[in-house]
Every structure is written in structure tokens, then in C-alpha cells.
Amino acid sequence: MTETDSATTDVTFRRYKDHEHGHEPWDELVVHAGESDLCPVYVHRAPPCQGSCPSGHDIRGWLAMGRGQDLDPADGPWQEQAFRRMTTANPFPAIMGRVCPAPCQEGCNRNEVDDFVGINAFEQYVGDWALEHDLPLAAPGPDTGKRVAIVGGGPAGLAAAYFLRLKGHACTIFEEHDALGGMMVFGIPGYRTPRDVLEGEVKRILDMGVGVRLNTRVGTDVPMAKIEQDFDAVFWGIGAQSGKPLPVPGADAPNCVSGISFLRAFNQGRLRHVSGRVLVVGGGDTAMDVAAVARRIGNVDLPEDAPEDARPEAVIMGKTTQDVALSAKRRGAADVWIVYRRPISKAPASQHEIESVIAEGVEIHDELAPLELVLDASGRAKALRVQRVDWIDGKMHPREGEIIDIEAGLVVGATGQAGDFTGIESLDNGRGLMNANGLYQVPGHPGHFVGGDAINPHLLTTAIGHARVAAEGIDAYVSGQEAAKRPKVDAFHFNLLSALHDGGLIEDTYDHEQIRGTNEARFAVHNYEDRSFAEIVPHRSLFLAHFDREAREQRQEATISGDQVLGNFTERFSGLSEEQAVHEGNRCMSCGMCFECDNCIIYCPQDAVYRVPKDQRAMGRYVDTDYARCVGCHICADVCPTGYIQMGLGG
């Protein structure tokens, strides 16, 4: 590498990159001889991590607490305060810190410096700390006298109950299974969502006074009309717990099952082994979970004339339960293949899950388009017929003459999900899902709201975000009010006025009517603008050269090889230590909000920027500007690491 190459790759911030010939906007190129008529304004914008989080976490806020900012010494340890901030958006930090694929980390501006902040790991640490210290959720709001039925006890339904109890509404969850948790229990293997952790986080919600009716299916056990009669509103969190059949001939073979059914049978303790090669068709997280579980439970040789109820598919379809003694005869980890029609690099599953199943001995065969299931004389599938394909410019091109049969003992389809609308057929949109407007109201059904996989199968954190918005809509509906328009960046945002009030720094009240003479009013916040509801701060607005390269603190992962996978249900990740969590909090660049680095004070040539007196400070109110001294040189904005300072106040 030449010296020039090294300089190009090592630099962390350059206003102009190689071969760029454009200029900054003319209205910003206003400095002449070190002066201009613009002065600094403090502009709060949302960080990209928050903009990428489906549940709207105030990620920047609770990471700041990890490094000692925005804390009240009288309000408990920083972990407790971070937990409270986390659970304003998501009541499952210990679970989400483990299983969420973390789109927030993909959007993290720190990726432009070295590596993203370990948001997931930090969240898991705080969530586990809260469970260890038996921290409760916030107390319910004052009783409103309104009752809401919640159909489905999965992540969407539980989250809806939590947010509605915060608003004081009575809630009853109707769950058709014998346990709450939905896909967190029946869809995700226990080594990814430890049952004691999940039970602890569910219990906190129930402790808020949530009613529960298990083994009760709305639509059959209880008519939908009865629910409408007894409750003021309904939230549907029924999920999409029925797998869609493979769209090929022969998919009705008895040994062709859905990934959802496979995982449910395993998580209920009924499925303990498989027999023969398992072909998993699909490339999502469900496909990866099925493959990983199949490898772990192992293979038992069954004779060709084995009775039907002894075969794995009979167990998966709920007809029987496997014998423990037979499972003891496993001859090793199962032979598992994943078949995916696109390149595996384009699969929706997280890269980590793909890499994990490969390390555990799963074979991945991509660019194979399923054509049909080849059946034997008894009607069972004995092979999956596939066509080799190429993908060019996003289009599939079959390879002529390259059709092959892949032998299989069990075919698991993981190519889509749908809901079960037995008894509630009027809610089915014809695609096995439910329709919803932007406020998650069900069109044509006043008082009915929906969230989670029932709308579109996605992430657990997406379901929680849906529930939050739906709960606000339900609150407006039962109160006879019109629901407020949702902001562009729909999340929990830091509020400077609230911070000043909570810190006892302002006592004045403001009725939000136009008023004059606010320069002396303590409730008014001057030279500050909150754009967090509409704008996300990009990395180009940050002074990235301020940040040193620091390696991310990574959770220890249990490395499981193919010859160790049989019967290995060890949790993959161990959590961070407090020291590691604090280090990750310090790595956060606080995009869009002051983090008190003093750069603007140090570099201001006019001494116009100064610290706010210590007894008047709050997060976001650390520095101020003496406009009588400011000459508009732009230096404070240039050296602001977080993009919090913008030149915009005319002189």
C-alpha cells in the first residue's frame, strides 16, 4: 500500500471525497474572512438507530445513561434508569436483546468510523440486570373504566396490554394455547429465548393487572359478537401461525409440513427426533431455526414399514408424541439441507443465523427452484424435484436440462405464513392476513385494531411497534377523540422541556397558545429546535474525525461445530459485563444530540460559546451562545461531533 493509499483509507472524515467536484449548498457557503451573519442553533434530530428500530426505542437515550449522562442520582442505578427508558418503547429488553436481528445496528452512523455500537448486547445486559433485580414495569395509569379485549397472547398482544395498562384501560388477553408468548414460545427455539427469561418479562406485564383466559379461542370458544358486546375495543394479535403450503404439486404429501408446525411441535416437547434427510425450503429466520433444531434433535432410523403414527410428520401434525426411549437410539445429528431459490446472500435471514447453521453442519443449496414433490407408491414424498437457475438483474433464468431430484424423508416448507381465521372469517383479507390503516385500525370494523404478524409477518420488534401505535389509537377511540396524525419518525423522542421540568429547572407552565415576551419566561427554550419527529441526522452532518477507532465489545458466543450439535441446546450468547456495557455506551456517538464534549467551547475564537451554569443544565442544554460575541465563523458547527449545532440564526 502506498503512503497516499494509507492516507485515504485511514482518514475518518473528509468533507469532500476523491473525484467529487460539487460544492456545499450556496446558502451555506456564506463565511467571508471568517465571519457571516449566521449564528448557531441547537437542532435536535433523531439518530438513524432509532429511525431503523420498528419499536421506536430511544436508543441514544439509554446508551447515554450507560456513559453516565441524563441521570438523576436519586433515581437509582444507571441500569435501572436505562431499563425505565427502554421499557417506554418495549417491555421485553432481555428477549429482544437476544433475538432481534437489530436493524438499528445496520443504520448506526458508527459504521462510518469502525463498527456499529453493540445495541443488542447492551439491551440484553440491561434486560438481564432488571430481571436479576426484580424490577417492575411502570405502574398502570388511573382507571378509565374502559375494557379492551386482546386476542392473542404473543408479542403484539402482550405489548398492547402493557401500553393500554399504562393508559389505565382494563385488558383481558384471550389465548388459544395453554401458555402466553406466541412465536416467542412456540416459534423460536428455547436456546435462543430462554424460558425463564421470557417468563420473567411476561410476568411483569401480567403484574400490571392484565386478565388472561388461556385455552380460549375467539371465534369458536367465544363468538366474536360476544367480545364486541363485552368490550369497548378489540386488539387482534393473532399472528400468522399457520405455514403456507409449498406452491408446487405434491405439497399435500403427509411428510411435507410447515416450518411453523415443526417448531411448535419441538417447542411443545413432542418432537424429539427426525428420520431421514430433512429438506428445509426457504431462506428466512424460520428456515434457519428449523434447520438448527433438526440438527440438534438428531436422526433415528425407522424401518420402511414403520406405522404412520411413528413418523415425525405425525408428531408435527399433533397426532402423537415421540417416545423418549426411541430418541435414545439416535445415530447422530440429522442430515439437513436448506434449499433456496435465490442466492443465499439475498436470503432474508440474518447473516449470523446463516453462518451459524453452516457451522453446525447444515448444507445450503441455493439457486434451486422447487418444481414438485416426487411421491412414492404410498403417497409420501421421497424427493424434491428442483430446477437449477441463475439470477441476472434480479430475474430468475432456468438452466436448460438441469433438473435434479433431492432425496428427502421430511420436507419442511418455510416460504410464508398465514393466520387462522376459523370463526372470524370476516377479518380475512383473502391472503390469510388482516388489513389495517396507518393507525392499525381494521377497515370496516369500528373499534377493532390489529398488529404484528397478522398484518405482515416480520420481526418481533415490529409487532411491538404496531402494538404501541394501536394502543394510542384505541385510547383515542374509547375516549371519543380523533387519533393524532403519526409523526414521520414515529418513535419515543427525547423531550428537552420534559427534561428541564423533571430536573426541577422549570416550574412555569405553557398552554401552547401564542404569547409575547418569552425571553424571560422559564418555560421557553431559546435557540433550540426539535426536528426529531421529522428528521434523521446523517453521518455527513457529524464530525467523524472526533471519534477514535475502538473495537466493539462482543458477547461471547458458544461455538458449536457439526460434531457437537446433537443435543446441544446451550444458549448461544452470554451477556456483557457492566464494564463492557459502559464501554459500548461510550462508543455511541449521540447522533443529533449534544454529548458534552466541549469542542464548541474549546474551538470558538470569540469565546461566544459557554457552558450553561451547572445548576441549570440538562441533557441537550449544556452549552449556550452569547450572540453579542458570535461572528458566525461556523467553527462550532464544523467541530460538533454529533451534528447538534447548525448555523441558521440570522444576525
For the chain, first and last CA: distance in Å?
49
Confidence bin at 14 (pLDDT 50/70/90): low
Are the C-beta atoms of residues 609 and 625 closer than 8 Å to each other? yes
pLDDT at 559 over 90: no
Secondary structure in 3-state letters for 575-642: CCCHHHHHHHHHHCCCCCCCCCCCHHHHHCCCCCEEECCHHHCECCECEEECCCCCCCCCHHHHCCCC
CB 297 within 8 A of CB 334: yes
What number is the average pLDDT over the span 596-613? 95
Res. 650: pLDDT tops 60:
no
Q: What are phi and psi of 281, to 5 degrees?
A: -105, 115
Report the distance separating Cα 40 and Cα 541, nearest Å. 14
Q: State the pLDDT confidence band at 89, using cuts at 50, 70 and 90.
A: very high
| pLDDT at residue 416 in the model | 87
Cell of 84: 425505565
The overall average pLDDT reported for the chain is 91
**pLDDT tens digits, one per residue of 170-190:** 999 999 999 999 999 988 998
pLDDT band per the 50, 70, 90 thresholds, residue 581: very high
**Topology agreement, domain 147-242+418-478 and domain 245-415:** yes
Give me 177's grid cell: 394455547
How far apart (Å, rounded) are the C-alpha atoms in residues 336 and 275? 11
**Which residue intervals of 11-92 are DSSP H helices?**
48-52, 59-66, 78-86
The residue written with cell numbers 434451486 in the block is 368
Q: Would you state the torsion angle of the CA atoms of residues 455, 459, 460, 461, taken in this order, to the nearest 10 degrees? A: -100
Q: Tell me what pLDDT residue 308 has.
A: 80
**What are the backbone angles phi and psi of residue 611, rounded to the nearest 5°?**
-75, 140
Which residue from 44, 76, 41, 109 is spatially nearest to 499, judged by alpha carbons? 44
Q: Render pLDDT for 316-373 as a digit per residue (tens, 0 to 9).
A: 988 777 766 666 677 788 999 999 999 999 999 988 899 999 999 999 999 999 999 9
pLDDT reported for residue 327: 66
Whether pLDDT at 51 is above 50:
yes
Residue in 491, 429, 419, 490 with CA at minimum distance from that of residue 453: 419
- CATH architecture of the domain covering 147-242+418-478: 3-Layer(bba) Sandwich (3.50)
CA angle 314–214–263, rounded 5-degree value: 35
Report pLDDT for 5.
46
pLDDT tens digits along 447-468: 999 999 999 999 999 999 999 9
CA atoms within 13 A on the CB side of 250: 19
- Under the banding of pLDDT at 50, 70 and 90, the label for residue 145 is very high
Mean pLDDT for 269-286 is 93
Measured between alpha carbons, how far is 322 from 367 in angstroms, rounded to an integer? Answer: 35
User: What distance in Å separates the CA atoms of residue 298 and residue 333, rounded to the nearest whole number?
Assistant: 4
CATH of 245-415, one of 3.40.50.720, 3.90.550.10, 3.60.21.10, 3.50.50.60: 3.50.50.60
Residue ranges of domains in the chain: 147-242+418-478, 245-415
Q: How many whole angstroms separate alpha carbon 406 and alpha carbon 381?
A: 11
**Spatial separation of the C-alpha atoms in residues 156 and 226, rounded to whole Å:** 22
The DSSP output letter for 642 is T
pLDDT for residue 651 is more than 70: no
Question: Taking the CB of residue 180, how many other CB atoms lie within 10 A of it?
Answer: 25
* 642/164 Cα distance (integer angstroms): 35
Cα-based distances in Å from 583 to 113, 300, 414 = 16, 48, 39
Distances (CA, A) of 226 to 25, 102, 152, 218, 220: 62, 40, 16, 9, 11
d(CA 151, CA 161): 10
59 versus 500: which is more confidently predicted? 59
Residue 567 — very low, low, confident or very high, per pLDDT cuts 50/70/90? confident
Assigned C-alpha cell, 483: 387519533
pLDDT at 2: 44
- Total residues belonging to the chain: 651
Residue 475 pLDDT > 90: yes
pLDDT at 321: 75
Question: What does residue 502 show for φ and ψ, rounded to 5 degrees?
Answer: -65, -30
Distance CA 123, CA 239 (A): 25
Rounded to two decimals, the pTM is 0.91
Confidence of residue 8 (pLDDT cuts 50, 70, 90): very low
Three cell numbers at 588?
455511541
Per the structure block, which three cell numbers stand in for 195?
Answer: 424460558
Q: From CA 456, how far away is CA 418, in angstroms rounded?
A: 9
The pLDDT value recorded for residue 7 is 43
Which DSSP state fits 384? E
pLDDT band at 6 (very low <50, low <70, confident <90, very high): very low
Region 630-651 average pLDDT? 88
